[in-house]
């Protein structure tokens, strides 16, 4: 006999239906991550190609630095200003959250699963606490906006 629910604070869901929903959400996540990795790889390649091109242009690249008193920036003895640069951040991946949930459902002996509100939001609505971070950190690679990495590289300073 089915239990009655006094409120929608929790809900019973067919395990097979919930498993299908979570697997579908995982597929969407994996696709976004996969495309973001491709964009990331293109951004890194672009950055490294520009770095190699610039280093070939300046043949006397040195690792001996002198510090200017006026601004404390580092220049090598050729007058090449070396900026602080970081490669793009690798795309976020939360696949393990889906895999863990899927595995728990597969091992469950229950035919129906009780979900409280936050579990429903995560498993059914695909609204995890990390969703905004995942989308914002990976969207830059999906749109190609990171292909031109600004703020990094080498600039020439004349003395």
pLDDT by residue (tens digit) across 109-148? Answer: 999 999 999 999 999 999 999 999 888 888 888 764 332 3
Does 28 have pLDDT greater than 70?
Answer: yes
Kindly report, residue by residue over 81-102, the tens digit of the pLDDT. Answer: 444 455 778 899 999 999 999 9
Polymer length in residues for the chain: 159
User: What local confidence, expressed as pLDDT, does residue 56 receive?
Assistant: 67
- Containing 147, the helix (H) or strand (E) segment is none
- Structural contact between residues 122 and 16, judged by C-beta atoms closer than 8 angstroms: no
- Structural contact between residues 32 and 137, judged by C-beta atoms closer than 8 angstroms: no
- Structural contact between residues 23 and 99, judged by C-beta atoms closer than 8 angstroms: no
Q: Which tokens sit at 16?
A: 């097979």
Enumerate the H helices of the chain as residue ranges: 15-57, 95-107, 117-123, 131-142
Does 104 have pLDDT greater than 50?
Answer: yes
Domain ranges for the chain: 10-156
């Amino acid at each position: 006999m089915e239990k009655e629910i006094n409120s929608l604070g929790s809900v019973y869901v067919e395990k097979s239906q919930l498993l299908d929903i979570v697997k579908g959400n995982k597929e969407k996540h994996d696709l976004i991550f996969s495309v973001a990795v491709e964009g990331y790889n293109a951004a890194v390649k672009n950055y490294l190609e520009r770095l190699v091109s610039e280093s070939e242009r300046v043949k006397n690249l040195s690792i001996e630095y002198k510090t200017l008193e006026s601004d404390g920036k580092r220049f090598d003895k050729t007058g090449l200003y070396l900026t602080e640069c970081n490669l793009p951040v690798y795309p976020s991946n939360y696949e393990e959250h889906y895999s863990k949930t899927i595995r728990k459902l597969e091992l469950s002996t229950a035919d129906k699963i009780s979900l409280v509100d936050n579990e429903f939001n995560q498993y059914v609505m695909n609204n995890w606490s990390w969703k905004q971070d995942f989308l914002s950190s990976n969207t830059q690679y999906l749109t190609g906006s990171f292909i031109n990495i600004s703020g990094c590289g080498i600039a020439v300073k004349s003395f």
